[in-house]
Structures are given as C-alpha cells and as structure tokens.
Amino acid sequence: MAENAAIAEITKKVEEVILEYHGQPLSKNALKKLEKEKLKKERAEKDALARAAQAAAKASATVDYSKDFYGKQAINQSADRPGRKHERLTDISASRAGEKVWIRARVQTSRPTGNKMCFFQFRQSSATIQGLVVFDETAISKQMVKFAQNIPSESIVLVEGIIAKPLEPVKSCTVQDAEITISQLFVTSEAQGRLPFNLEDASRPEAEFEREDAQFSKVSLHTRLENRVFDFRTITNQAIFRVQAGVCKLFRDFLDSKGFMEIHTPKIIGAASEGGANVFKVKYFDTDAYLAQSPQFYKQMVVCGDFERVYEVGSVFRAENSFTHRHMTEFMGLDLEMAFEEHYHEILDVFDELFVYIFKGLEEKYAAELEIVHRQYPFEKFQYLPKTLRLEYKDAVALLRENGVEMGDFDDLSTETERKLGQLVKEKYHTDFFMLDKFPLAVRPFYTMPDPKNPGYSNSYDFFMRGEEILSGAQRIHDAELLIKRAKEHDVDPESVKHYVDAFRMGAPPHGGGGIGLERVIFFYLNLGNIRRVSMFPRDPKRLFP
C-alpha cells in the first residue's frame, strides 16, 4: 500500500515539471537540451523513486508484529523464575482442546510448507506430539515462520500454543488425538553442526534394512557408542534403560519384603581375592591394591556378622581380555547372600520367587517399554514357569548326550553347549529360564561346599536365560578348617585370604547365595544380541571412552 502511494506521488510531480517547461517557446537546441535534461531528471527521479520505494518496502518488512513471540533465548543462568507451568506431553490429549499451554521439548523433526507454515514433531523422552506454526496477518509473521523453519533438529525449544484436535489422528506421534497450534516459539538450546546420525534410522527394526528399496543407513553399534549421549535419545534406548532401572527396583523390592538388608562392600581391596587372575591393579598411595571382582568374600563376612540376609547392587570389575557379545570389564552385580536353616535349596526357593517376581513385574509394569524395544529388536516372548525348573548337572549331561553332544561327567559347559542345553530344555520343558544345580566340584571356586552324598559334585548352581548364564552361586563352606583344606587343593594360599577364613572361626551359619549380572538379565530377556546395548557406557579392553 505504502509503496504504491509513493510511486503515484512522485509520478504526479514529474508531470508538473514537464508541463512547466512546455509553457515556454524554446529553440530546437534548447528544446533538445531541455529534453535531455528532462530525461536525465526523469531518470534521476525515477531512480530516487525506486530507492524510496525499496526503502519503504524494507522499512515496512522489518515491522515484525511477532517479534516478541519467537527468538533465541540467552543461556539460562537462572536469572528469573516466572513460575510458568510446563506441560508433559503425556498429559496432553484432545479432551483439553482449546487450552493454552507452555511446553519445553526437543525438535525431533520439522517440515516447512512454503513460506507460510512449518510442522514440528516435538519430543520429551519417548513421547512425541505435532506442533505447527502458521502465518497469519496479525499474530504469526512470515519472519516467525522463517525462524521456525530454520531451527535445527534436536534443539530444545520453549513453546506456547493452543491444544487443538487434528482433523485426522497424527499417526507419526505418540500423542495422536491432539496437536499444538503454536503462538510463541523460543530456542532454549540450539543443536550445533551435523548430528552424528539420523535418530529415526537408529530406531528402525533390523528387518527394514534388508528391504531392497531401503533408502537409509544402518547405525553401527560402534557409531552409537561413540555418540552415546545422542544415541540415548532413540525411543528404544529410552525404553531399554527404563527396563534396566525396573529390574533393579523389582530386585530390591522383592528382597526387602523377604527381610533382606542392602549392604555396600569395598571395591578397592588389599589382596586379589579369588586367586588373582583377571584382576585390575590399582596404585594405592605407597602400595598396590585391586578392584573387587565380586563382593563374594565381603557379603559372606557380613552374613557371619549376623546380618543374615543381605544384598548388594554394585560395580564389579573383571580384567578379562575378551570381546564376546556377553563380556564387559565392568558391570553391575546384583548379589545376595543368606544364612539358611537346613538346606541350600532354601536359597534356590528365594531365587525362584525373586526371578518370577521380576519377570512378572516387567510384563505388568514395563509393558509399554517392552513393546517399544520389541518393535526395533523383535524377540520371542520370554517363557518361564511359575515354579522354576531345577535340573541337576548329571541330568543335563545325559540330556546333552542323548542329543549328540560328547562330554564327560565332570566337564564344564562351553558357551556353545550351554546354548544347546537351553534349546533342549526349552523343547522339553517350555521355559527360557532354568536352574542348573549340583555342578562338578572341580569346576567351581575353592569355597564351594562339596555335595556330601555324590563325590565329585557340589552344592552349586548356575541359572540360564535363553541358554546363557546369568547367575552363578552356591552353598559356601562355613567351616574354617574345611575351607583351608579346599583352598590348598586349589593352590590358594590360606594366608592370602586370612581375614576371610577367620570370619568362620567365631560361629558361622550355613549360608550361600549368588551373583546376578544385571546387564545380562536385560540383554537376554530382550534378546538384544550384544551386552553393550544395555550398558550406558560399556567397558571392554578397547573401550574407555566416553
């Protein structure tokens, strides 16, 4: 409007000037000269006119009526606390349509439509919602739309908007019956540079990569671990680590209800406890110390100190130079140890109830998370029995032999044989979880209680999930003299474990327990293929960062 008015006015002035000149009789030359000057002036005036028009247009354009409603925020240094309520996406639904809300979320994706519109997917943890910025002549300027379209994915934004009911359900979001019509949009923290990979690709089911028309690239485990903070943001990882926290919680809740007490034992120890192999050495002031390979000795000592039922959730360190799918140099041990009254099968009874409680709890309380993981890494539903199968080692050996595995009565199980046994047990007993009891004495640590009736065997057990070991345990020797004898037979110098042996001299109850590898439980339950997927920052001989 302003532009047209200016042009009209200038044109009028030029016509007046021409009329004035024409009112005088002039020579041809003068006329020519005048004509030239007139043209020159006209040209100059036209240029001025155009410049003015341009300036006017520019001035008009910078009058941005939305300018207070979008922009980049300064670094939040907690200068103010306006006390606005920020909504969780999970609390938003169509029933609240028309309500004005504030939301802080990440920009998962943004999709510009021309220069008048921009669609967003906003994300909080694993919840997503659609948002849109639409140009209009009074509230949302084109400048604001342009700003919105240029926000990099993964930036954190603060949004004010109205909850609206979309015409059709938003299938690509977790909130499907509502979207946000944006009225204010601020960038709280902008993502810089190129993102290490595409989050959507990183959450795709493996099967999609095998399609012939696949247009996206698979994200390797290495790339994920190198960019772990970013990788955590995939919907699948959000679920996996919630399941992990769930297993710890279920473990503790059950044991608390059974009279167990939580303990914390030292991780820096003065002597390499269990023989000295696979132990990390620490420089400890003027001497050497070691990292505990398990809380074994300490939890037993605590039981001898009259805390009769104890558990610990703690770090465990193993200096094993191996790179398998199920080994890490550091992992979380869920350990328990308890005095029993008559028979170590009382411990198996506790473990039986514990695991059934954990498996049930996962199904009941973490169904949504399991479903999310399942989408990316499809796994067969984990089968277990209400009363866990207890198989004796000798019977397992018989079963394996019947199925073509050659092994001696007292041979240990290889990873391969364990898997085979898992398959056979599943076929015969329809369970992915079982206890293998009465291991050969020779393949167990020196402090394992020998079976009193069957020479060569011991009161010890491993538990298996999908054919892989997740727990090892036993009745322990609680008699100092027998312990010393067995230590010597294993070439362990009793002096090197004196504090431990002495714990049994002042009256010790019969006792036993076991250690569960937390990551293994989740890894095998979800059948994830590699244990590193269930450790936030996994450690192996080559991985110390991040």
Q: Which residues are catalytic?
A: 318, 320, 326-327, 469, 472, 520
Which residues, 6+ apart, have CB-to-CB distance to 356 below 8 Å? Answer: 384, 386, 388
376 sits near a second copy (criterion: CB under 8 A): no
For 189, residues 6+ apart whose C-beta sits below 8 A from its C-beta are 155, 156
Q: Is 116 in the site for a second copy (CB under 8 A)?
A: no
Closest CB to a second copy among residues 445, 467: 445
To a second copy, the closest distance from the beta carbon of 539 in angstroms equals: 6
Query: Using the rule CB under 8 A, which residue among 150, 499, 529, 530 binds a second copy?
Result: 499
What is the rounded CA–CA span in Å between residue 384 and residue 525?
11
Q: Is the CB of residue 104 less than 8 Å from the CB of residue 86?
A: yes
Task: Confirm or reject binding of residue 293 to a second copy (CB under 8 A).
Answer: no
DSSP state of 337: E
Q: Which is nearer to a second copy, 96 or 104 (CB)?
A: 104
Task: Assess contact for 432 and 465: CB atoms under 8 A.
Answer: yes
Q: Is 104 in the site for a second copy (CB under 8 A)?
A: yes
Angle in degrees, CA 102, 105, 108, rounded to 5: 135
Asked whether position 508 contacts a second copy by CB under 8 A, the answer is yes
- Shortest gap between Cβ of 202 and a second copy (angstroms)? 13
Work out the burial of residue 184: count CB atoms within 10 Å of its CB; fewer than 13 is exposed, 13-18 middle, 19 or more buried: buried
Residue with tokens 């003299």, as numbered in its chain: 481
Q: Quick check: 480 binds a second copy (CB under 8 A)?
A: yes
- Min dist CB 333 to a second copy, Å, is 11
| Residue 539 touching a second copy (CB under 8 A) | yes
Query: 205 vs 305, which CB is nearer to a second copy?
Result: 305
Q: Is 365 in the site for a second copy (CB under 8 A)?
A: no
Asked if residue 179 binds a second copy (CB under 8 A), the reply is: no
Question: Exactly one of 138, 283, 408, 455 binds a second copy (CB under 8 A); which one?
Answer: 283
Task: Based on the shown chain and the rule CB under 8 A, indicate whether residue 77 belongs to the binding site for a second copy.
Answer: yes
Extended strands (E) in 301-453: 309-317, 330-339, 389-392, 433-437
Which position has the token pair 């967003």? Answer: 120
In this structure, are residues 296 and 275 in contact, taking their beta carbons and an 8 Å threshold? no
Could you tell me which of 429, 520, 430 has the C-alpha nearest to residue 472?
520
Residues binding a second copy: number (CB under 8 A)? 115
Beta strands in 242-366 (DSSP E): 261-262, 268-269, 281-284, 287-291, 309-317, 330-339
β-bridge mates for residue 71, sequence order? 186
Q: H or E segment at 347?
A: helix 345-365
Nearer to a second copy, 1 or 79 (CB): 79
Q: Under rule CB under 8 A, which residues in 324-363 are in contact with a second copy?
A: 329-330, 332, 341-345
Please state, in angstroms and rounded to a whole number, the distance separating the CA atoms of residues 210 and 436.
38
Binding flag, residue 84, a second copy (CB under 8 A): yes
Least Å distance, CB 302 to a second copy, is: 7
323 binds a second copy (CB under 8 A): no
Q: Which stretch, 5-13, 201-209, 230-238, 425-433, contacts a second copy (CB under 8 A)?
A: 230-238
Is residue 521 involved in binding a second copy (CB under 8 A)? no
- Judged by CB under 8 A, does residue 241 bind a second copy? yes
Nearer to a second copy (CB atom), residue 128 or residue 130:
128
Among 53, 271, 389, 405, binds a second copy (CB under 8 A): 271
Q: Out of 251, 433, 461, 500, point to the residue binding a second copy (CB under 8 A).
A: 500
With CA atoms as reference, report the closest residue to 515 among 337, 273, 266, 253: 337
Q: Which of 41, 482, 496, 527 binds a second copy (CB under 8 A)?
A: 482
198 near a second copy (CB under 8 A): no
Which residues 439-458 are close enough to bind a second copy by CB under 8 A?
449-453
